[in-house]
Amino acid sequence: MSDDPRQPKPASEHTTAANAATGAVLNLDDPGDWERATRGLIATHETGRIEGRSVAAWNTADYDFMRGEGSEAAPPSVNPSLWRQGRLNAIHGLFEVADGVWQARGYDISNITFIAGKKGWLIVDVLTSAETARACLELANTTLGARPVEAVIYTHSHVDHFGGILGVTDQEAVDRGDVRIIAPEGFFHEAVSETVIAGPAMSRRGGYMFGPHLPPGVFGHVDSGLGKVTPKGIPGLIRPTEEISVTGTELEVDGIDIVFQNTPGSEAPAEMNFLFPGHRLLCMAENCTHTLHNVLTPRGALVRDSLLWSKYIGEAIDLFIKHTDTLFSTHHWPRFGQQDSHEFLTKQRDVYRWLHDQTLRLANNGYTPLEIAEELTLPDCFGSQGHTREYYGTVSHNSKAIYQRYFGWFDGNPANLNPHPPEASGRRYVEAMGGAESVLGQARAAFDEGDYRWAAQLLNHLVFADSDNESAKLLQADTFEQLGYQSESGPWRNFYLTGAKELRDPTRPGAGGGRAMLKVLTIEMLFDAIGVRLRADDVVDKQAVLNWTFTDTDEKHVLGLKNCAIHHHADRHAANPDAELTLTRDLLGKLMTGQVTFMDAIEAGDLLIDGDAEAVLTIFGSLDRFTGDFEIVMP
């Protein structure tokens, strides 16, 4: 490897030994995953490269280093357990799952499933982007015979399951009634609310979690645990035409019978499992996959209810297992046979219950989140099964999430009630420890001893105290790198290696925009986004009341400003507004994102303002513009 201090380093002797020790004790009782993951393969994408707008949206060749002869043994720079999961996720193609049912895997982080109906395809989940979804539909049509898309099921409200919708249909076909779109109750609100309220921060953190900017390879990106990687495409969304709100709901879709189980508050706020009784086929959405999942995803989201999650899986067993011969999820590979499916669900049910109960047991004994995370380890009944190992979620961060759900961020110790923020505490720690050179020396000693966790903590204080200290940043990068190499969790590896990359080279690709989602946001959601962007200090003692008329949706709204916050009322106008605005919903989205200026919209006749235009600027002139490109590993 290069001697350049800004380039990746090999595994240290400590990392090599740690990974070798992991490999020596890695004893998975279930060797059948390779057979399951390859079973039913009937075709692969012709090139494995799916083109995007400017770069390839997907390229299977990026992970050829994990395939073929000589790839069985993990290199020293990859945890052997994650290497195993990464090799399984590198398998790609179109697979027959059951009679009349096929699944395309390995062309996105998620799966797309095709079920042949009387007239056409019923599709379960549509991947992350139009590019990957379109390529998989073409693969299915070419291999199996062309069929029109009759219906789509969104299993839940995460973008890698609905974002590719424009690759399989369009809004016009849905509006004509040619394509049904079925989703769990609350899907639309949950699908877009994260994008509106917390999207820029989640997107930035997601770049760490999934590692899309890491080069594939043994010193870079290997896997995301849940799938290979997120595609470089643009997600879209079409609103569902039908929602499922009650467990036991039965539908016939293009001649296919479906029985639904609604599971809100499980892996996603809006999610559902369902059985195809005629096929004896059970879909567990993302509630059960071949990994321990996240109770709180590191990119950020609402904390999930692990107790409820476990109970939903138990309910699915009671409702469906007697009618199931094949089980599939929207990530990873299926389970074949009733017994295999039953055992899989039982372990999945029990691992989330174990996490919940043991976290609460220790919390009720006075343990803090950090202490609980250090105390709990997966028992052999879970550690011996690939599908309950820590490839995506971990016991460490899941136990902290469960604690947070019940007790919040505060561990009860008054010393942690109001600590200094990182830069201020960093300066104090460095001073107390004898200055920068002293801290750096202690960190180097910890690094040389293989105590990378302590080295990372020491160096974090130094980097936040002095972000110009190149020696500290480069040693922190080396430290993160070794922690990443040792991680069984794909997201942990990606977080560490992305942090190392940015410490060595602060330049990075620009943040992606969320403009594709604007077309489907409600006006209330757009106004909520305005509130999040309002710079309160700029509007102290200012007030405004604006009436809005939207000509394309025939809606009336009031947007007001008072007490350094906005307020909103739908379906009416205020009696004495400062100004009245007439425009379209689409134009409001463009004004918010800067695609169109107020003056351009007025001059074009697209925006009419009657009254005090200064009142409009009072609000819109005081909005932050999020770049989604803030620092994470540096101040």
**234 pLDDT higher than 90:** no
- Asked if pLDDT for residue 545 goes beyond 60, the answer is yes
- Model confidence over 346-369: pLDDT tens digits? 999 999 999 999 999 999 999 999
pLDDT of 592 > 90? The answer is no
Confidence bin at 287 (pLDDT 50/70/90):
very high
Residue 515: is its pLDDT beyond 70?
no
Question: Over the chain, what is the mean pLDDT?
Answer: 95
pLDDT of residue 616: 95
Q: What are phi and psi of 346, to 5 degrees?
A: -65, -45
Query: What sign for the dihedral angle of Cα 455, 458, 461, 467?
Result: negative
DSSP, res 72: S
d(CA 482, CA 82): 15
The pLDDT value given to residue 508: 78
Kindly list the structural domains of the chain, giving each domain's residue range(s) and its CATH number in brackets, ordered by start: 39-406 (3.60.15.30), 419-486 (1.25.40.880), 521-620 (3.30.1050.10)
Residue 252 has pLDDT above 70, yes or no: yes
Given pLDDT bands bounded at 50, 70 and 90, which one contains residue 541?
very high
Question: What percentage of the chain has pLDDT greater than the value 70?
Answer: 98
List strands edge to edge, sheet with 565-570: 565-570, 555-562, 544-550, 579-583, 608-611
pLDDT on residue 115:
98
Task: Supply the pLDDT for residue 30.
Answer: 66
The predicted pLDDT at position 131 comes to 97
Helix H, strand E, coil C: the string for 338-392 is HHHHHHHHHHHHHHHHHHHHHHHHHHCCCCCHHHHHHHCCCCHHHHCCHHHCCCC
Q: Does residue 516 have a pLDDT over 80?
A: no
Among 232-241, 311-320, 475-484, the range scoring the smallest mean pLDDT is 232-241
Report in angstroms the alpha-carbon separations of 521 from 190, 194, 586.
11, 12, 9
- Residue pair 241/180 in contact (Cβ under 8 Å)? The answer is yes
- Among 338-342, 490-494, 507-511, 607-611, the minimum mean pLDDT is found in 507-511
Cβ atoms of 298 and 334 within 8 Å: the answer is: no
Q: pLDDT-derived band of residue 218, with 50, 70 and 90 as boundaries?
A: very high
- Per-residue pLDDT tens for 411-450? 999 999 999 999 999 999 999 999 999 999 999 999 999 9
Going by their DSSP bridges, the two strands 93-98 and 41-43 should be labelled as antiparallel
Q: What is the DSSP letter of 583?
A: E
Average pLDDT on 461-485 reads: 98
Q: What is the pLDDT of residue 562?
A: 97
pLDDT tens profile 70-121: 899 999 999 999 999 999 999 999 999 999 999 999 999 999 999 999 999 9
Q: Is the pLDDT of residue 546 over 70?
A: yes
What pLDDT score does 595 carry? 87
- Average pLDDT over every residue of 551-567: 97
Could you tell me the pLDDT band of residue 512, with boundaries at 50, 70 and 90? low
pLDDT at 196 over 80: no
Exposure string of 432-466, with b = 16+ CB inside 10 Å and e = fewer, is eeeebeebbebbbebbeebbbeebbebbbbbbbbb
Q: Is pLDDT at 405 greater than 80 in this prediction?
A: yes
Beginning with the edge strand found earlier in the chain, give each strand of the sheet holding 250-253 in spatial order.
Answer: 250-253, 256-262, 272-276, 281-283, 326-328, 335-336
